[in-house]
A and B are shown apart, each in its own frame.
Chain A
Amino acid sequence: MAMIRPFLGLATALAMALMLLGNSSVAMAAGIEIREFDDPVMEQRYRDLTGSMRCPLCENQAIDDSDAPISADMRQRVYVLLQDGRADIEIVDHMVQRFGEYILYNPRLENRTYLLWGTPIALTLAGLLLVVLMVRSRRNAAARALSPEERARLNDLINRKRPK
């Protein structure tokens, strides 16, 4: 991300320079419309909703970032439903009924997705268990004292003069 930022800045500066030169059509080349909201909460909900739905056609773009015609239709529908006073969950259901679970970047928790959501938790717990078991087995192993021969050999090794 940090690497990309300076380039974005550069691109913006370039776009602004072009606009100043009277070439304003270049800067607005992307086909995503601008919507005005009176209510900042509504605007935030619109952003969150359109940012969390996947374009059914382009496969890895959110509908707020895609200029596919279907994404424009879906943004329009989200906007209309928001103006209509519908709750976020209703709007998401409305879309899923038509385009399928596929459009959700965060799949819902249900029978089919328990494995998907559960695996990271299960792996973390298994890792913790492994660490506990290893620490405990180390602790038990360290309890045995050295035999006299081992101690003598250890002293011998410690006190040995290093060859010049």
Chain B
Amino acid sequence: MKRRLLLLLPLVGFLLLALFFYRGLALDPSHRDSALMARDFPAFDLATLEEPERRVDTSLLEGEVTLVNVWGEWCPACKQEMPQLLSLAEQGIRMVGINYRDTREKGLQFLDEFGNPFEVNIFDPEGDLGFELGVYGAPETFLVDRDGVIRYHHTGYISPTDVRDTILPEVEKWQ
């Protein structure tokens, strides 16, 4: 009888593997933790989109919890998430934009057309700051606490559900 049971061992092994892989099917590889979590916002020194002569650096992000949104005129999902960002700004959350791999002209045109929830926009035409942030597409959004440390990273489109279920609770947590 014992030997018979031993014959079931390969089946058990197979079932365990099947379970493991079945679970893997439900995982979304694009949802992964940011490498920058709990690290200082990378140093930068760039002009703003609105005023080419005004330069900003990391001190911009200190003293207040800030949502930093990486966007570009060329990015369709950025247009779709603008209403959500505008409503976040209306609720009194400080927003800073990074105009990523764009031209000044197109960036300003975008803000005219879709609204401007940002206190200021950092102009990053070469994607240098984006690279330091590990941005691999737009839109991406970072939550930076009052000490300038990255606390949350959202890749991709922010839906109204995301605002309610993740963004607002995260902002609350670090206020």
Chain B facing A: main interface SS: loop
CB B156 to nearest CB in A, in angstroms, measures 11
Given A59-B30, A69-B101, A70-B136, residue A98 in contact with residue B35 (CB < 8 A)? yes
Cβ contact within 8 Å between B32 and A102: yes
Partner of A56, one of B101, B132, B136: B136
- What does the 1/0 interface line of B125-152 toward A look like (CB < 8 Å)? 0010001111111000000000000000
Chain A facing B: main interface SS: helix
Within 8 A of A (CB), among B85-134: 101, 127, 131-134
- What does the 1/0 interface line of B10-50 toward A look like (CB < 8 Å)? 00000000000000000001101111100000000000000
Cβ contact within 8 Å between B29 and A98: no
User: What is the CA–CA distance of A131 and B32 in the complex, to the nearest angstrom?
Assistant: 41
- Which B residues lie within 8 Å of A100 (CB)? 32-35, 134
- Tell me, yes or no, whether A33 is within 8 Å of chain B by CB: no
- Which B residues lie within 8 Å of A83 (CB)? none
Partner of A98, one of B30, B32, B36, B101: B36
Cβ contact within 8 Å between A98 and B132: yes
Cβ contact within 8 Å between B136 and A99: yes
CB B135 to nearest CB in A, in angstroms, measures 8
- Which A residues lie within 8 Å of B29 (CB)? 59
Partner of B137, one of A57, A77, A98: A57
- Which A residues lie within 8 Å of B36 (CB)? 98
Cβ contact within 8 Å between A98 and B33: no
User: What is the CA–CA distance of A68 and B135 in the complex, to the nearest angstrom?
Assistant: 13
- Which A residues lie within 8 Å of B131 (CB)? 73, 77, 98
- Which B residues lie within 8 Å of A70 (CB)? 135-137
User: What is the CA–CA distance of A69 and B133 in the complex, to the nearest angstrom?
Assistant: 15
User: What is the CA–CA distance of A77 and B131 in the complex, to the nearest angstrom?
Assistant: 9
CB B108 to nearest CB in A, in angstroms, measures 22
- Which of A57, A68, A96, A99 neighbours the largest number of chain B CB atoms within 10 Å of its CB? A99
Interface residues of A (CB under 8 A from B): 55-57, 59, 68-70, 73, 77, 96-102
What are the 4 A-B residue pairs with the smallest beta carbon separation, nearest first?
A100-B35, A56-B136, A98-B134, A70-B136
